[in-house]
Amino acid sequence: MADDIILKVEGLQKYFEPHLSFAQSVIGRGAKKPIKAVDGISFEIKRGEIFGLIGESGSGKTTTGKLVMKLINPTGGKILFNGEDVTVLDKAKLKEYRKKVQMIFQDPYASMNPRFKIRDVLEEPLIIHKVQPSFEKREKMIVKALEEVKLTPAQEYMQRWPHMLSGGQRQRVATARTLILNPMMLVADEPVSMIDLSTRAEVLAMMKEVQMDLGLSYLYITHDLSTARYFTDRIAVMYLGRIVEIGKADDIIDNPLHPYTQALVQAVPEPESGKVKVIKELPIFGEIPSPANIPTGCRFHTRCPYAVDECSTLPEPELTECGDGHWQACRRWKDLRK
C-alpha cells in the first residue's frame, strides 16, 4: 500500500564536480569526470521500519543520508516523503521537512556545541523551530526527551557540559535532541561507531525501544553487518554508488546472493573468538575504485573472484528479484549457488 511508505527514493543521483588545481584550470587540462557518489539508487522505507544501508567507505551511503536530509541537493532523481516530492523545497518547506526528518550524526561530540550545557543543546531546536514560547513548557519537553533516552535524573544531566558525558551518554543526548521535535523519521549515520563495544548494544537497544514506542522510521547507515542484523528490518547493500542487493535483514545475512555481500558477511568477526574469519573461498582483492572512474559493465567485476568476460563487456546488471522481496544485481548468481 502506498500509505505504508513514508520515504521513497527514485533514481537518486549525486555527482560532484572535481576540484582542479590552479595550473589545471589555467591550461585547461586535468580530470574533469564527475565523481559519481550516488549513481541512480531506488528504495522505499515503510512506516515504523528500520531500513539499513550498508557498504564500505566510499560506497555512497553517507552521501545518500545527506541527500535524504536535504543537506545537499541531488543531481538527479526524486525523494518522496509521505507521497510528496521533496527533491526541491523552498526555505519554509525545507524547515518544516527537517522538523519531520531528523538526523543522528556519527560523532555525538562534534555535533554538539561544547559551550552549551545539555539543556541548551536540547532547547536549541525548540527555539529554531519556534515550537514552544513558554520557558516552563520547554523545560518539561527537555526533561521528557532525556527520560525517553534513559538519562535520569534528567535535571542532573541538563546542567552538565558535553565533555562531562561518556560517548554513550552523548549519543543518547544526540538522540534526545532529534526526538524533542517529535519527528516521523530519523536518519542515523553510523550512530554507534564512535562508542565502545560494551556500550553499542545498550545504545541500539535504547534506539529500538524509542522507535517502537513512538512508531518512528529509521534510515540506519552503517558498515557493520553485525549491528545491522540486530537492529534493522531490511538491508540494502551499496557498492560504488549503486545498490547491489536488498532484502530482509536475515535473508541478506544468512543467504547473501551477490558476491560483494558474501564477502562482507564472511568478514564479520566470529562471536566466539572475536577474530575476523579468514576468507578462503571468496578472496576480495584491491581497493574500491574511484567513483570518478567507474569500471564498465558490472562495477564490482574488478574485485570479484567469479568475474568472467561478460561481466565487463555487457551492460551493468540491474536489480532482479530472486524471491520473497530479495533483490540482487549479479548475472551469475544462479551459477554461484551450484
| CATH number of the CATH domain containing 211 | 3.40.50.300
Q: Is residue 153 part of a domain?
A: yes
269 found inside a domain = no
- From 148, 269, 127, select the one nearest 216 (Cα to Cα): 148
Whether residue 45 is contained in a domain is answered as yes
**112: in domain:** yes
Rounded to whole angstroms, the Cα distance separating 67 from 16 reads: 13
CA–CA gap between residue 49 and residue 67 (Å, rounded): 19
Q: Which residues have CB under 8 Å from 15's CB, separation 6+?
A: 34, 35, 36, 37, 75
Q: How far is CA 43 from the centre of its chain?
A: 13
- Nearest in space to 188 (alpha carbons), one of 102, 248, 86, 252: 102
Global pTM? 0.89
**One pLDDT digit (tens) per residue for the chain, 338 residues:** 456 999 999 999 999 988 766 566 656 565 578 999 999 999 999 999 999 999 988 899 999 999 999 999 999 999 999 999 999 889 999 999 999 999 998 888 888 999 999 999 999 999 999 888 888 999 999 999 999 999 999 999 999 999 999 888 999 999 999 999 999 999 999 888 877 777 888 888 889 999 999 999 999 999 888 889 889 999 999 999 999 999 999 999 999 999 999 988 887 766 555 555 544 445 677 788 999 999 999 999 999 988 899 999 999 999 999 988 999 999 988 887 76
- Check: CB of residue 118 under 8 Å from CB of residue 161: yes
Cell numbers representing residue 32 in the block:
574533469
CB 133 within 8 A of CB 117: no
CA distances from residue 13 to 7, 36, 39, 54, 211 in whole angstroms, order as listed = 16, 8, 5, 17, 29
Number of domains the chain is built from: 1
Query: How far does Cα 195 stand from its chain's mean position?
Result: 17
**Cell 534528567 belongs to which residue?**
154
pLDDT of residue 107: 84
* Residue 25 domain boundaries: 2-257
The helix (run of H) or strand (run of E) holding residue 46 is: strand 35-46
In a domain, 295, yes or no: no
Burial class (CB in 10 A: 0-12, 13-18, 19+), 338: exposed
d(CA 15, CA 39): 8
b/e per residue, 121-159, with b = 16+ CB within 10 A?
Answer: bbbebbeeeebbeeeeebbebbbebbebbbbeebeebbe
Residue 287 included in any domain: no
> Could you tell me whether strands 5-16 and 217-222 are parallel, antiparallel, or unpaired per DSSP bridges?
unpaired
Cα distances from 293 to residues 34, 260, 284, 289, 298, in angstroms, run 9, 19, 19, 7, 13
Cell numbers 552521501: residue: 63
CA-closest candidate to residue 131, choices 198, 183, 55, 195 = 183
280 inside domain: no
DSSP string for residues in 58-74: TSSHHHHHHHHTTSS--
- By the 8 A CB rule, do 82 and 6 touch? yes
On the 0-12 / 13-18 / 19+ scale of CB atoms within 10 A, 51 is buried
Sequence-separated (6 or more) residues with CB below 8 Å from residue 171: 104, 108, 191, 192, 194, 195, 203
97 lies in some domain:
yes
Q: What is the pLDDT of residue 287?
A: 83
